[in-house]
Structure 1
Amino acid sequence: MIELHTDQEVAEMAAAGEFVSSTLQTLKSSAVVGTDLLELDALAHDLIRRRGAESCYLDYAPSFGTGPFGYVLCTSVNDAVLHGKPHSYRLRDGDLLSLDFAATVDGWVADSALSMVVGTAGADDLELIELTERALEAGIAAAVPGNKTGDISYAIGNIAREAGLSVNLEFGGHGVGRTMHGDPHIPNAGRPGRGFPLKPGLVLAIEPWFMRGTDKLRVDPDGWTLRSADGSRGAHSEHTIAVTKDQPIVLTRNRATGGPAA
């Protein structure tokens, strides 16, 4: 079911957005060469506890995963592109790390993701990250009344097409509210003018994720971590936004810089 939220409810969601954004910034600062993925998850767990928030991931058990996720943070490294299940792995120089984090504060959910290079950054990785960030901003700009969800998808996919990338349509953006994943589904490519009409009060997680060499995925034995089928690297950027009668409100924008939560 697609839900529309009041101005007051959108204002209440800001607390969740600020917490998710600040947590990702803390995690990004802590992700250095030698940091274990389990240490990042433990840090996120501690920040949730101190805030009095709730994890959206810990007991999450959708049809596309194997059992409850069991952690509070997705940590995807290099060719792991989505739903990376934390495990004992110490980050190495040049690793491309994506962090995806969602939490509930006072009953409202916010969901956001960023990608970064640990230590020495290669030009190809930086370009891939920048492409997802540009696609995210293009998708946000299209999230205005009068457009449809397909306009968001088209804006995202156009960035990928111009860069010569193919796009996986299995996983993409989604509605956000009292739960993490709701309707409508927003694939990362599509046709303009198609889909659900965008109306004030619609809250969405918009999340471009691109792989360098393929649009096919394979699943790790852990039943969760999704990797590119050809071993190429991937990057992921995500914000939770609210459609208003004017311009979109980015609830997970990093307030300290005014830029993307990345």
Structure 2
Amino acid sequence: MYSTMGGQTGVTGTPQNPQPNPFGNTFYGAGSGLIRSGLEAYGERFLGSSSEFMQSNISRYFSNPQYYFQVNDQYVRNKLKVVLFPFLHRGHWTRITEPVGGRLSYKPPVYDINAPDLYIPLMAFGTYIILAGFSLGLMGRFSPEALSLQFTRGLVGWVLQVMLLKGLLYSLGSGEAPLFDIVAYGGYAYTGICIGVLARLCWSYSYYFAMPLMSLCMGVFLVKTMKRVLFSEMRNYEKRSSRQHYVLLFMALGQFPLFFWLGNLGL
């Protein structure tokens, strides 16, 4: 509604700044503060529990990658002897533990010959690819595509080995071993494969003696290692001993076709 009193035009209505309600602001501030504090407490509890859950499950299936590279020259020499010639290993196969943060933890490879590492498997895999390229060159079949195909073949073989070991543990009710441990155990196969390939480069007929021998040694090494893992994780170890023997025997026999498949370069 408009008025023209005094020659000025104005607008009549409610005032622009109404009086604040002290009680409403007080209740609103108190309520929002309670809600905010409650949400913060709930969020901290939720995030804390979820982080503990994630840490516990991650540490359950994975380990610190740096642990697997704590090696020295002496460890590498002794570990290669154990992997390539497990019959000559006269010591125990159990890992050494130490208290860390109120819990028992395994000592790193530099202090324990039975600890798994990723240094030897990665170096052996790299050596395998180099030998594959050298063998392809001697056969006159070297090309980037052929070397890439052999690299893919090697990775597939490693994955198959890991799946075999992991499936073995799950079939026997023990899937608690960290994944990096299984990857390390599966990668040790390339040490024996490199020996077989080198034997073939030196004398072609020696391949048919060296490769079965390396397959047998790798099978014995894995049987000894998997027995230790099963014994340390399974409470009903004695109840399933007969089944374990058959499964471990299947795992050992599976090394022969895997070794010959990866050792036949250029096919």
Structure with bigger gyration radius? 2
Higher relative contact order (CA 8 A, sep 6+): 1
- Could you tell me the TM-score, scaled by structure 1's length? 0.27
TM-score by length of 2: 0.26
Q: Which has more strand, going by share of residues?
A: 1
